[in-house]
Structure 1
Amino acid sequence: MTSSPAPAPLARLLLDGSAVADYDSGATVDPVLSPRPYLHPVRTLAGTVVTETLPEDHLHHLGVSVAVPDVSGTSFWGGRTFTPDRGSVLLDNHGRQQHVEWLAEADSARTELLSWTDTSGAEMLSEERVLAALSVDARTWALDLTTRLRNTSGRDLSIGSPATNGRPGAGYGGFFWRAPVAAHPPRCFGPGLEGEEALHGSRADWLALAGYAGDAPWTLVFLQDGPERDPWFLRAGDYPGVGASLAWDARLPLPAGGLIARRTVTLVADGHPSDVASLVAAARELL
């Protein structure tokens, strides 16, 4: 009995004709995981996969996505919600990010319109998301993700996190990249900083993970561009994941009609580059 071929991705980002990232609308994701669009697999130029989706340790981790655990009580992160009185519990509070249309389409760049709806289906946020693949050097490309979230609910909202609800250090929510688990945790480092404890919650100019997929070495370097630089959320020992935190230790107000804009650029490299700072500098010149 032959197996059926995998379905074609809904969209792809290409560089020089080669696929570097596949797009999934998330429409078939279980509602309890807060369905949302995501990129997976994301690949190095040599084809090494550097994302993970639906891992056993956190089923709600979906490759590269924009995920927020608390928008005035609605979870766009998935899974359990941290509550001050009961800890982490499963609530009926999961929202959905729905693809509305492509506003622009090209091989290496796409602009998407999204609707963020609550449990009743009412829109809370409208998002314009830009995804672009940029060539950096022979072994490196960059994923440029810009999100513009507008409050369309007609009321004031705020963005929170488990940390703002009482769980110290768990200020995740916003851009999030889930990398695959390997035999050993990836090395994590930044400018003058080394290790998960030093980088978690920092506003380092950049943050790098250097790991392996089998015998294939890979490096991811994350940087933020624009006037707002959020603290980094980092996990390496438990699982490899990096995010830029919208609500690290205080709720972020979003008044009716208000806009939040963030830009995160991730360098995706084969191997373990010896001079990451120079690589970051070269990438910033492209922005």
Structure 2
Amino acid sequence: MSDDYLVLRCAGRMVARYRTGRDLPSTLAPRPHLHPVTTLAGTPVTETRPADHPHHLGVGVAVPDVEGHNFWGGRTFVRNEGPTELDNHGVQQHAAFPLCDPDGFVQELRWAAGEGELLRERRTVAPVQVTDSAWALDFTFALTNTSGRELSIGSPATNGRPGAGYGGFFWRAPKEAAAPEVFTADAGGEDGVHGRRADWVALTGDDWTLVLAGATDDTRHDPWFVRATEYPGVGSSLAAEERLTVAADETVVRRIVTVVADGRLDRGQAATLIHKAVTA
């Protein structure tokens, strides 16, 4: 690992860099993230700090409201006021790497803001080969409330902005000339997929496909946050419809497995690959 990033490899190829994020300004809610992430053929499938949303940082965990603190970056949605510039940004601080090598890592993180540490995270990330043209990113995060009191996790949706239930695992894909196609096993299009629960959701670009799946019961309960027309991005929402209350010392665990494939997959191909990846 260099001072600023860790290289992840799969099938003998570099498929991602995991960046510390410590050089980011406070308004972006500094946090570790994966970028660039590529297919096995080398096609980029992430974007960071794009002009449309400078606080979008590749692949990672970002939450816009932890007891009023912004760990997403950018403006904060305030009820009856709308998006507002506030000095309320938190930071995810590296604490330790219990395991760290090109085949994957385990990281301890401190989520700090305002009065100090609110959450302690244990993050486990591993690349897994699925086929000769597809690999999977296995990403688990466990958030433990270390504040000594009850915490509440929210989103712009729970704060009064309909349809904006983002917060949790989030993947910002690259913007191309045409909007990506998005679909699940039985629905298609942004309107048909966004805000709904599904075993998996796929996003296809010019010559790549991402297939994301919740790999635990709790994760599958979270609705998908999907954008395709405005920008390409998919996330698993911790607080899409109502605030998530986390008692002192309680731990919230989520696991998302994402297939990263070369080419444009159809429903059948996407279903086959994600099933293979989740059960590997």
Short-chain TM bin: over 0.9
Alignment of 1:137-156 (within 5 A): 137-156=131-150
Amino acid at match of 1:251: R
Measured after TM superposition, the shift of residue 17 of structure 1 is: 2.7
Counterpart for residue 17 of structure 2: 22
1:164–1:249 contact (8 Å) kept in structure 2: yes
Alignment of 1:68-147 (within 5 A): 68-120=63-115, 122-147=116-141
1:9–1:22 contact (8 Å) kept in structure 2: no
Please list every run of 5 or more consecutive structure 2 residues that lacks an aligned counterpart in the other structure: none
Counterpart for residue 244 of structure 1: 236
Inter-CA distance 156–8: structure 2 relative to 1 (3 Å threshold):
closer
- Residue 222, structure 1, aligned to residue 212, structure 2: yes
Counterpart for residue 203 of structure 1: 197
> Aligned partners of 1:35, 1:119: CA distance in 2, in Å?
14
3-state secondary structure, aligned to 1:283: helix
| Structure 1 stretch displaced more, 103-112 or 232-241 | 103-112
1:84–1:165 contact (8 Å) kept in structure 2: yes
| Structure 1 stretch displaced more, 100-109 or 167-176 | 100-109
Counterpart for residue 171 of structure 2: 177
> Aligned partners of 2:217, 2:121: CA distance in 1, in Å?
19
Measured after TM superposition, the shift of residue 107 of structure 1 is: 2.0
Amino acid at match of 1:14: R
- Residue 190, structure 1, aligned to residue 180, structure 2: no
Counterpart for residue 44 of structure 2: 49
2:63–2:155 contact (8 Å) kept in structure 1: yes
What is the CA deviation profile of residues 124-148 of structure 1, one whole-angstrom value per residue up to 9, with x for unaligned ones? 0000000100000010000000000
> Aligned partners of 1:280, 1:265: CA distance in 2, in Å?
8
User: How many residue pairs end up in the alignment?
Assistant: 275
Counterpart for residue 272 of structure 2: 278
> Aligned partners of 2:257, 2:120: CA distance in 1, in Å?
22
Measured after TM superposition, the shift of residue 85 of structure 1 is: 2.2
> Aligned partners of 1:258, 1:150: CA distance in 2, in Å?
6
Please list every run of 5 or more consecutive structure 1 residues that lacks an aligned counterpart in the other structure: 1-6
- Selected match of 1:257 from 234, 246, 249: 249
> Aligned partners of 1:16, 1:268: CA distance in 2, in Å?
13
**Structure 1 vs Structure 2: percent identity of aligned residues?**
52
Amino acid at match of 2:244: L
3-state secondary structure, aligned to 1:193: coil
2:118–2:146 contact (8 Å) kept in structure 1: yes
Moved over 6 A (4+): none
Measured after TM superposition, the shift of residue 8 of structure 1 is: 8.0
Measured after TM superposition, the shift of residue 9 of structure 1 is: 5.3
- Aligned-residue RMSD, C-alpha: 1.1
What is the CA deviation profile of residues 73-102 of structure 1, one whole-angstrom value per residue up to 9, with x for unaligned ones? 001001011111211101010000011111
TM-score, normalised relative to structure 2: 0.96
2:136–2:259 contact (8 Å) kept in structure 1: yes
